[in-house]
Amino acid sequence: MSVGMERYPCVYMRGGTSKAVIFHKKDLPEDRTLWADIFLKVMGTPDPKQIDGMGGTVSSTSKIAVIAPSQRADADVDYYFVQVDIKQPNVSDNLNCGNISSAVGPFAIDEGLVSAVEPVTTVRIYNENTKKIIESHVRVSNGKAEVYGDAEIDGVPGTGSPIDLYFDHPGGAATGKTFPTGKRMEILDIPGYGPIAATIADISNAAVFVRAADVGMSGVELMELNENKEIMEHLERIRCIAAEKLGFVEHWEDARTKCTASPKIGILSAPQDYTGIGGKKINAQDMDICCRMISLGVMHKAYPMTYAIGTGAAAMLEGTIASEMAHLTHGSDQVVIGHASGCTVVKVCMNGDEVEKAGIIRTARRIMDGHVYIRR
């Protein structure tokens, strides 16, 4: 080992449209107050290029997962998620990542934390961040998680083995309430911009949703949106006001630096035809709602999975901006979300106004395993 550096065993995995460095809890210091500094150094934060770490300069590639055998009767493994900021020296653990959740089952099987059962192994995952159970159905071959298959998800080249993820009772994941302010739609007063209609919802993760037209957007913008400083500032102030109302910060301006990962802001519109990232033609008839989401200050290139679940569920709950924008034509229990890279299908099981379970299909694979080195 090089002088002046520490090393930690880890696995680098893609889960859905995200990537994370995954650790066994036993390989990290027992003192969890040391973890934040380790994770920042692993990713190379703070630095827009993350040049001295494993981060990939966007929120979807600046993630950490920590896995351990569970002592709970209803779970096989415990999973702790951390979103590492890029420009700010912040780590956030008041949220979960649905995409990285899809990597937990294969990791647990391949690392021997869960016994492989062919052809499909069910891995019960307890997410420590949201205190929710996620059920992962992983195809298995020769005692290992299957990589190859015919499942295709927009935002990831090629195909892979399908992983079926089910989130039990996802409402109130961060705050304990599906609608933390008690309202399905409300008017937020945004400093410098004035009033705007919004839905603040907490389904799998906390989010604030607005109409695209109300912030001067068509709803089908791609990455060029990041260069529109006026709209991006408006969206950030909406997000910060929502963070204050959620109780994440005392004053909205603090959310710029202290609460960067959650809530996220979703920009919604009715189904539309557009050309997505990479020139893919995306048709209005293939979706129920058109969505864009801002993550760590830039537009997400696809759509975060926990927020897809939240958007899909909100679309089924009357009185929300999502239900107003959605044209639910693809089945009574599913919502198809159109995003910058294509479409994502979310299955939502409702019991009246309660979201009992939400499901989504992902793919995942191991990219690298070994040790990550950080400066002391």
Query: CA torsion angle for 299, 300, 301, 303 (degrees, to 10)?
Result: -140
Pick the CATH number of 186-354 from 3.10.20.600, 3.10.310.10, 3.30.479.10, 3.50.50.60: 3.10.310.10
Spatial separation of the C-alpha atoms in residues 298 and 58, rounded to whole Å: 8
366 backbone φψ class: left, alpha, beta (φ>0; ψ -120 to 50): beta
Residue range 54-104, pLDDT digits in tens: 999 999 999 999 999 999 999 999 999 999 999 999 999 999 999 999 999
The whole-model pTM stands at 0.88
Spatial separation of the C-alpha atoms in residues 68 and 79, rounded to whole Å: 7
In this prediction, the residues of the chain whose per-residue pLDDT falls under 70 are 1-3, 331
CB contact at 8 A, 104 and 77: yes
CB contact at 8 A, 100 and 90: no
CB contact at 8 A, 127 and 136: no
Q: What is the pLDDT of residue 264?
A: 96
CB contact at 8 A, 114 and 77: yes
Q: What is the pLDDT of residue 352?
A: 86
Q: What is the pLDDT of residue 239?
A: 98
Numbered ranges of CATH 3.10.310.10 in the chain: 5-171+363-375, 186-354
Spatial separation of the C-alpha atoms in residues 290 and 39, rounded to whole Å: 34
Spatial separation of the C-alpha atoms in residues 21 and 9, rounded to whole Å: 10
Q: What CATH number was assigned to the domain covering residues 5-171+363-375?
A: 3.10.310.10
Spatial separation of the C-alpha atoms in residues 94 and 83, rounded to whole Å: 9
Q: What is the pLDDT of residue 353?
A: 86
Q: What is the pLDDT of residue 376?
A: 86
Residue range 170-188, pLDDT digits in tens: 999 999 999 999 999 999 9
Spatial separation of the C-alpha atoms in residues 158 and 122, rounded to whole Å: 25
